Structure 1
């Protein structure tokens, strides 16, 4: 089981971020792509959505699960309503937001990890493989060629993150950990989404475990939300950055890489995958689901 949770205890946002980061680091598995790095003290950390992949990995994954009848339209609509209510009503209480996020996990409650992983391989081939940014992939390969380890760090579920890392030949991944008991999902998160400050906690915990010198490490992201992670390393880089991150990167002399054309940038904007865009993505899923079923 990935962690245990006291259902009667409600940790605050900072505690949940710490739990999410620690859970992600603990769940991270090293792939065989680089078992003996020649530069063991250095590594690169890549955000996934709009950094490694065009659009949101969770969008493509959820759409694929729906196509494979993993959950029903009613399940999806219920999760969307609970997510959208808090966003439209403007409720910002962290506990309410956490409840909305956990409600979305109800669609996988009762399913097994094995089911999700098996479908993930097929969904990656169908919907994700051709959306990998060649430029970012080349940067990751550059780090591997230099004998450094390369990790994905994403708010997407650890199962998706690990799959993408494995298929790209990377070292491993850090992602959001959904609680499961005896291989069956409970419908709860361990801590919270691996987002914002939680990513920094996960990277720091992994660095301590793997003996990394963060001053010699690199980090890549498209979002200003990842400033905590980017600021941890000695070599931060903005990839396809949002306006706020671009401004911050310029002001601080960080590297900037943009692999989007105008058309791609517009399309990616519609599919932007982050915790803040979750309700919009879910709404798109419902519309897509309605077309597929009818």
Structure 2
């Protein structure tokens, strides 16, 4: 069937979430040193942005790539504009929605997976390492000390998520999977971004693969959008929570940990979230840097 044939049945949100989750789980790998945890049926799942690290990881990644001329400002803003337009206008045409979704990663088309991985290592060192929250890092280490697997679960590209996990000594990472052929990015997503319901689908797929008992697992996030993930496990915890998640966690009696100062907590609503951050953060980076170069 031709790619532009409108008679095809488009994937709905649930199907895209399942596909994204399964793709993320398929990309997951376990560091050799952590192959045999002493408590193999339990694990902890951590969101990244504003949970493990301050701010949006995708913003720092895109800014670092932009500075290295990985893509042009025009490519960046074109992808961001398409996303913003369809998000604001609310167009429901399946072809338009698919175009907007795929345009999120259009600017990496033609680059190799290895290229992004290598640059990601540099960008982590210069822009992310010092932003890791010590308190959340300690929680992750506590689970490792108890012999449990610890996974990052994020809307950020799986390549950068795996770098963060490896640098922190964690088990592995689940992230958004960009389609590639023969090691070269096509510029499209596999399914959808690993956000909201897709995170829960990824965890379920990983749990099946690793024989995890989700009732014995823990999950940590700052965002109300991660309720599907938090509600999936027996031990959910709100880390640096937004207002809606804090209220919900209090109502449910969940643990709450806040490692921000009062000022940072007050500004939390201005920080880019995981889903919108993948585009908004990228556009902000391009606009900001373009302005500085004038």
TM-score > 0.5 by shorter chain = yes
Whether the 8 Å CA contact 1:240–1:260 is kept in 2: the answer is yes
Deviates more, 1:177-186 or 1:7-16: 7-16
Structure 2 spans left out of the alignment, 5+ residues: none
Instruction: Say whether residues 1:127 and 2:144 are aligned partners.
Output: no
Q: 1:19-168 alignment to 2 at 5 Å?
A: 19-91=19-91, 96-168=96-168
1:214 equivalent in alignment to 2:210: no
1:188 Cα deviation (Å)? 0.9
1:3 counterpart residue number: none
Instruction: Report deviation, 1:87.
Output: 2.8
Aligned-pair CA distance for 1:93: 5.8
SS at the partner of 1:143? Answer: helix
Quote how far apart the aligned CAs of 1:148 are. Answer: 0.5
Q: Secondary structure of the residue that 1:173 maps to in structure 2?
A: strand
Matched, 1:249 2:249: yes
CA RMSD, Structure 1 to Structure 2 (Å): 1.7
Distance 1:95 1:213, change over 3 A: farther
| Separation (CA, whole Å) in 1 of partners of 2:197 and 2:227 | 8
Match of 2:258 in 1: 258
Match of 1:183 in 2: 183
State the 4+ residue runs in structure 1 displaced beyond 6 angstroms. Answer: none
Residue 192 of structure 1 aligns to a residue in which SS? coil
Tell me, yes or no, if the aligned pair for 1:98 and 1:192 is still in contact at 8 Å.
Answer: no
Aligned equivalents of 2:216 and 2:231: distance in 1?
12
- SS at the partner of 2:219? strand
CA distance in structure 2 between the partners assigned to 1:16 and 1:198 by the alignment: 8
TM-score, scaled relative to structure 2: 0.93
**Corresponding residue SS for 1:201:** helix
**Deviation of residue 274 (structure 1)?**
1.9
Does the 8 A contact of 1:55 with 1:269 survive in 2?
Answer: no
Q: TM-score, normalised by structure 1?
A: 0.93
Whole-Å Cα distance in 1 between the matches of residues 133 and 4 of structure 2?
A: 40
Decide whether the 8 Å contact of 1:17 with 1:194 is kept in 2.
Answer: yes
- SS of the aligned residue for 1:30 comes to coil
1:192-203 superposed matches below 5 A: 192-203=192-203
User: In structure 1, what is the Cα distance between the partners aligned to 2:209 and 2:185?
Assistant: 27
Aligned residues: 289
Return the alpha-carbon distance in structure 1 between the equivalents of residues 271 and 134 of structure 2: 19
* Distance in structure 2 (CA, Å) of the matches to 1:167 and 1:266: 30
**Does the Cα contact within 8 Å between 1:64 and 1:123 map onto a contact in 2?**
yes
Contact 1:57–1:273 (CA under 8 A) maintained in structure 2: no
- Secondary structure of the residue aligned to 1:220 is strand
